[in-house]
Amino acid sequence: EIPKDSSVLFIMGPQTSFSPAEVELIKNYLYERNGRVLALIEPGRSHGLDTLLSDWAIFSPDCELQEQDTAGRSAEGDIVLRRLIDKPNPLTRVLREQDLPIIGSRFRNVRFDEGSTPDSTLSVTPLIFSSDNSWGETDYQRKPYKYDINRDQPGPLSVAVAAERAAGIRKGSTSSGGRLVVIGSSDLATNQRINRGGNQAFLIQAAV
């Protein structure tokens, strides 16, 4: 059960797949209670949320971002992302106004599902991107990495997406609909990185 007074549900780097029954609980929380969900998923982990993401027109292929732009790497070797959605957006406002990057060790592609059924009540907004000189490596267990046009995801890659319903689906509801924010990295929220760049500010904004 998701407590009735929950204002936001955090999914922070699941290590095993959610069961179908658990996924239904999350779906009901979003649909019936116009809930807020912030999900941080990472490469190489089976999270079991694919049907949930599909319902919200989000697709996250299992690949690992390879950032080749030298400006996109920190001195410690972490990936540093500064490319934001062109249009002003409340979730990225603090990053833009304070020129703060998102910093993490690994990212996966999270994007709008172009094969989804059109839905006038749903808006899906990619928020943060890698550089043009990047790709999503699908065979990331084998080194050295090399871009394969027939297999890998071409850059720039979206690594964070927000999906929002225009209105609540409950009959007679006048409230705004649910919101699902998915970020393709879980270590943004770890003790090691939460205070780096704009990680904390972005996560807080994505949760409210």
CB atoms within 10 A of CB 4: 7
Encoding tokens for residue 133?
């000189």
Number of helical H runs and strand E runs in the chain: 4, 13
pLDDT at position 200, please?
97
pLDDT at position 171, please?
44
Q: Is 95 exposed, middle or buried (0-12, 13-18, 19+ CB in 10 A)?
A: buried
Nearest to 179 by CA among 26, 30, 29, 28: 30
Count the alpha carbons within 13 Å of 134 in the hemisphere toward its beta carbon.
27
pTM value? 0.92
Provide φ and ψ at 158, rounded to 5°.
Answer: -80, 135
Runs of H (alpha helix) within the chain: 20-32, 50-55, 93-98, 199-207
Encoding tokens for residue 146?
């090399």
pLDDT at position 140, please?
82
Q: For the segment 162-180, what is each residue's pLDDT rounded down to a tens digit? A: 999 986 554 444 556 899 9
Query: CA–CA separation, 154 vs 151, rounded Å?
Result: 9
Question: What are the DSSP calls for 84-118, one per residue?
Answer: E-SS--TTTHHHHHHT--EEES-----EE-TTSPP
**10-residue block means of pLDDT along the chain (208 residues)?**
92 95 95 93 93 96 92 91 94 96 96 92 95 92 87 94 78 67 95 95 93
Q: Is 74 exposed, middle or buried (0-12, 13-18, 19+ CB in 10 A)?
A: middle
Q: Quick one: CA dihedral 123, 159, 26, 7, positive or negative? A: negative
